[in-house]
Every structure is written in C-alpha cells, then in structure tokens.
C-alpha cells in the first residue's frame, strides 16, 4: 500500500497554485436538522458520554483554578467637599447653599416693567385695600400713581390693554418703587383726604405685604449681579471649593448657555491661596451587584435571553473593530464586572480615595484610581470626571454633582434673535423674530422693507439709468460687521452696526444697558450654522417645596446660512425711459 503522506505531498507540489488561491464561495453555519416534530428530547441536551466531556474540559484546562473568589463586600472611602460661594462673571460673590436652584441664581435677571407687570402689581394691591375696607382710597391711588405708558402702535395687544386699564388701575410698579424707597406713606400722609391716625398702620401693612409678595413672585438679582457675557452670548460663573493644600479650587462653567446644568459643564481651575479646610470623609459599604445589560448571556443553560441586542448583526468589517470588541466583552467577560451604587448628596464634590473589595475566600483587595500610578497619570479616557484646566491643577479623580433643576415649565419666548451668517454680504445678521410686548409676552415683528423714494428726479432729463448705493433689508435685520480687535489686525470680532434710517433694536438682547454704546460679539460665537438666543420665563418647584420663577436666556444652534439680498453699487433703469 502506498504511503498516504507521500501521495498527499506529491499532489500538493503538483497543484501549488490551486492551494495558494483556494476558491471559497460562501460560508455556511452549522445548524441542527431535527428529524422529529417535537423538541422535548432535543432540548434536554443529553450527553452520550459525560465522562468524555469531563475529560475534554480537563484537557483544555477548564478545571484549573485561578484563586479568584467572587466579591461579596466592598467599602468605598471618599472625601466630600461642598461649594459654598458662587462667583459670577464680573467677580461678584454670592453665598450659596442648596436652598435655591443653581440655574436660577445664575440666569435670573431684572424683570421688565411692562404694562402687564404694572397692572399685575396694582391688582394685588387693590385686593389688599378692599380686604382692609379702604375702598375710599382707590381714587387717591389712581391720582397719585396714574398709568401713563404709551405702547408701540404695532403692539396691538398692548394698545387694547392700555385702553382697558387706564383710569381703572393705578400704576403698581411706581407704587412699589415708592414703597422700596420709603416714600409711599409720606406721599399718602401729604394728602388731606388721607386719615393717618386711622389708616396709617393698615397702609404700612399693605406696603409690607406687597413688597413680600413681589419678592417671592419674581426671583431677581441685586444690582450688578449678572453672569451673562454679551460678547460670548453665554453665562460665565464659578463655584469656589474649600481650600486644600494651601489653595482654593474653582469649578468654572464659562460656556453655559443650554438652560440645564450638569457635571460636564464644570472644569477645575486653580484659585487663590487660602488656609486649608478639612474635607468630610465618608465610608460606605456595599454588596457588589453583577453588571447586567440588554442581551447579556444568562448563566443558566437554556434560559431565554432578551432580543434587544442582536449579536448576529454586529459589524465585523475591518472598520468595525469596536463592535467586535463589544461582542467579545459581552460574551466572554461580562460576568466579571460588578456595580457599586454610591450615594452622593447634591452640591458635593466627591473624590474616591480607594475601594476595598473582600471576596468569598476572605481576601481583601485595595482598588485605587489609575492616576495613582505615575506611569498612568493621564485622563484621556476618564468618565464622570472634572477636566483640569490650568498648569497648577493636578489630575484628580473628582466628580461634582450639581444642584441642577430636574423639570421646568417655560413660557413662550419673550425674545428670539436669530444670528445668521451672510457670506455674500460678508456680515452677520441678528434677526429680531420676537420682541417683548407691553402686554407681558412676546410679539412677532412684521418684516417691513425700506423702500426707495418714489419721487426721484434725475439730474439730467435724458438719463435712463439710476445709481443705487445699496439695497434695503427688513427693519428687524440688525447688521454685525467684522472689525479688528486691536492694532495687530489679526483677530476679528463682530460689531453691531446700523443701516441708514433703520430703527433701534427693540430687543433687550441687542441693546447695551451697561453704559456702552457699541455691542461686540466674538466671531466664533456665530458659526456657519448660526445661533438662536431666546429669553423666557422659567418656573420650577425645588426640593424644599418652594416655587421659583425667573427670567433667563438660552442659546441654541441656528438654521444655517442665509442671504439678506443686500447689494451695493447697482445700476437700475428708470421706469418710463
């Protein structure tokens, strides 16, 4: 009989090209081919020779123990520090505790004295006057504090409201200003029809109650307490941590404009030098819970699994390596991970010092942060970690749980400005879509175009063309032109401009109220997609049961580029020539 190995070797040498380039047409999956209609016996997974299976497991090393016991207890040691000072963009310092929402303290601004607000305050004041049986003084209040607001004729709702309240309600806002300045009782006492001996105490009670009600109704900042940065269209503030190692640390949120605060909005910055303050040490004990996720393989044989994760559709192409790694983790190592549900109070900066894990063999294993190793002092793949900014800040595994608002009730926009890039005109337009109304809400602006004068008379009777310096745009389009920041002529920012004959901006977002005549916006704040900035009333109920109402701003992505139709140096024909 010929030697089979020699025959196979001779065949391989003869057909080398065939073996080097095998033709594989497809791949088939091995599947069972049941011969019976019932699956009862098949589902038993019977073994013909269990001893053979045990021997194969022994040969493959599956019975070799690694002395790895299952974790059944874990203790976490952590340092807790609570920020106690809120630092706004201009350096104003406000003591802070969790009695008030952080978003409210950062965003709140002074409420405009609209006709609606004047009538709202007046109605509550007259309600107290009638309860105190002082109806005879209502004509006196109407004479001392008349409503003399003249709404914009285009604000039709405010025009009708002014007609309805004129002569029927006093100006509650003026009345409140006199109360805050201590002039309300003095002005009443100077009137002969006011009986000070009988009603002075009641009017003082009216003053106290009205001031308390207004302070509770609207959350407004003190003078010069503002975190809004106009040139960046964002809020800028910091939370100051107690000093450690001779220096304080700031949790800086310099790009907050989304309306919702979370841990990733804060970065660590080095603060000023100060004496150290001891941190609060916390030790919590847990029973580790095995990690679970949808589609995770069950440890029990024949236990049905969820179908929300389809491992058969995982991308195994050369560019799908992450998907393959995910499948390997899910099918091989997923039962090696545990969860420790660490409880943390809000407004707390937590730094985990270490985790002591005890297994079923009684062995204690200390798990420290990866940055404890000098060779791993980096945070490229850190999760739930405050980014350190500044050369003097050392990498720390710290996490801040901010006192953020869970749910909000928001009004319709009082103001809505659409910042849009116009590459044809080489400028940015701030389109006032919604502006405040004296009736209390917002009103949409009508797009009124500037028209060329129709009574144009050419200098020469034979002229058939007309030179136009520039076309027109709607009057609610406010231009922002690029200008140089300094004499270096390198950096550029956007400056608010004005078309000839155009009215002033009607929105508070585009008006400067800090004594500056010009408004600048950094060029990077208006990308190609544009930006939309809104002002809205926001209302929430806090943990202590109190309700807070404030006026805040929010910036969102725009709707892309546009064209205003603005053109310069045009030659147009004269009609009829």
Q: Is the pLDDT of residue 1 over 50?
A: no
For tokens 């690694």, the residue is 66
Four-CA torsion 126, 128, 131, 135, nearest 10 degrees: -30
pLDDT at 59: 87
Q: Are 138 and 288 in contact (CB under 8 A)?
A: no
Can you tell me the distance from the alpha carbon of 488 to that of 192, in angstroms, rounded to the nearest whole number?
69
- State percent of the chain over pLDDT 70: 86
pLDDT at 272: 85
Can you tell me the distance from the alpha carbon of 338 to that of 320, in angstroms, rounded to the nearest whole number?
27
Nearest to 417 by CA among 404, 430, 401, 398: 430
Confidence of residue 105 (pLDDT cuts 50, 70, 90): very high
The model's pLDDT over 514-537, given as tens digits with 9 standing for 90+, comes to 556 688 899 889 999 999 999 999
Burial of 528 (0-12, 13-18, 19+ CB in 10 A): exposed
The residue ranges of DSSP E strands in 409-524, in sequence order, are 409-410, 415-422, 427-436, 442-444, 465-470, 477-484, 492-496, 520-522
Confidence of residue 393 (pLDDT cuts 50, 70, 90): low
Alpha helices in 401-534 (DSSP H): none
pTM above 0.75, yes or no: yes
Which DSSP string corresponds to 244-291?
A: BTTEEEEEEEEEE-SS---GGG-EEEEEEE----PPEEEEEEE--EE-
SS3 484: strand
Structure tokens at 309: 């994760």
Can you tell me the distance from the alpha carbon of 331 to that of 320, in angstroms, rounded to the nearest whole number?
17
Can you tell me the distance from the alpha carbon of 112 to that of 117, in angstroms, rounded to the nearest whole number?
8
Q: How many residues does the chain have?
A: 577
The model's pLDDT over 149-169, given as tens digits with 9 standing for 90+, comes to 888 888 899 999 999 998 899
Q: Is the pLDDT of residue 339 over 60?
A: yes
Q: Where are the domains of the chain?
A: 75-109+226-287+347-355+364-406, 115-217, 409-573
For tokens 């070799």, the residue is 64
Q: Are 317 and 334 in contact (CB under 8 A)?
A: no
């Amino acid at each position: 009989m010929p030697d089979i190995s020699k025959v196979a070797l001779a065949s391989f040498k003869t057909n080398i090209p065939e073996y080097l380039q095998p033709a594989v047409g497809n791949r088939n999956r091995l599947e069972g081919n049941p011969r019976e209609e019932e699956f009862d016996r098949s589902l038993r997974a019977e073994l013909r020779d269990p001893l053979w299976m045990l021997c194969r497991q022994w040969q493959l090393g599956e019975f070799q123990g690694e002395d790895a016991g299952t974790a059944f207890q874990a203790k976490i040691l952590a340092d807790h520090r609570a920020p106690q000072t809120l630092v706004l963009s201009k350096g104003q310092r406000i003591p802070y505790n969790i009695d008030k929402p952080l978003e409210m303290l950062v965003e709140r601004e002074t409420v405009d004295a609209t006709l609606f607000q004047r009538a709202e305050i007046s109605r509550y004041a007259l309600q107290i006057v009638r309860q105190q049986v002082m109806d005879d003084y209502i004509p006196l209040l109407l004479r001392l504090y008349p409503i003399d607001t003249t709404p914009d004729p285009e604000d039709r709702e405010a025009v009708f409201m002014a007609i309805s309240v004129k002569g029927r309600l006093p100006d509650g806002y003026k009345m409140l200003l006199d109360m805050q300045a201590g002039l309300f009782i003095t002005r009443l006492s100077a009137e002969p029809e006011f009986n000070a001996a009988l009603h002075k105490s009641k009017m003082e009670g009216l003053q106290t109650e009205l001031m308390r009600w207004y302070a509770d109704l609207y959350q407004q900042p003190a003078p010069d307490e503002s975190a809004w940065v106009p040139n960046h269209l964002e809020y800028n503030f910091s939370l100051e941590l107690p000093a450690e190692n001779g220096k304080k640390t700031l949790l800086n949120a310099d790009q907050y404009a989304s309306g919702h605060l979370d841990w990733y909005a804060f970065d660590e910055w080095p603060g000023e030098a100060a004496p150290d303050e001891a941190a609060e040490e916390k030790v919590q004990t847990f029973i580790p819970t095995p990690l679970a996720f949808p589609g995770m393989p069950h440890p029990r044989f024949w236990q049905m699994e969820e179908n929300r994760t389809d491992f058969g559709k995982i991308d195994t192409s050369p560019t799908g390596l992450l998907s393959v790694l995910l499948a390997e983790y899910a099918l091989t190592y997923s039962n090696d991970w545990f969860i420790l549900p660490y409880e943390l109070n809000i407004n707390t900066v937590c730094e985990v010092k270490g985790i002591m894990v005890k297994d079923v063999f009684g062995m204690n294993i200390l798990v420290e942060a990866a940055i404890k190793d000098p060779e791993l002092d980096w945070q490229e793949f850190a999760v739930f970690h405050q980014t350190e900014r500044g050369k003097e800040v050392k990498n720390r595994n710290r996490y801040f749980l901010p006192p953020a608002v869970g749910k909000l009730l928001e009004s319709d926009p009082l103001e809505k400005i659409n910042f849009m890039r116009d590459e044809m005109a080489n400028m940015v337009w701030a389109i006032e879509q919604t502006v405040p109304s004296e009736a209390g809400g917002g009103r949409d602006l009508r797009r009124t175009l500037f028209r060329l004068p129709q009574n144009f008379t050419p200098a020469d009777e034979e002229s058939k063309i007309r030179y136009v310096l520039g076309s027109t745009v709607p009057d609610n389009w406010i231009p922002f032109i690029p200008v140089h920041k300094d004499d270096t002529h390198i950096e550029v920012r956007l400056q608010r401009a004005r078309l000839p004959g155009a009215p002033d901006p009607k929105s508070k977002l585009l008006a400067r109220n800090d004594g500056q005549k010009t408004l600048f916006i950094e060029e990077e704040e208006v990308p190609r997609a544009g930006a939309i900035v809104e002002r809205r009333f926001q209302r929430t109920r806090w943990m202590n049961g109190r309700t807070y109402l404030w006026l805040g701003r929010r910036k969102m992505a725009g709707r892309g580029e546009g064209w205003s139709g603005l053109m310069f140096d045009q030659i147009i024909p004269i009609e009829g020539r």
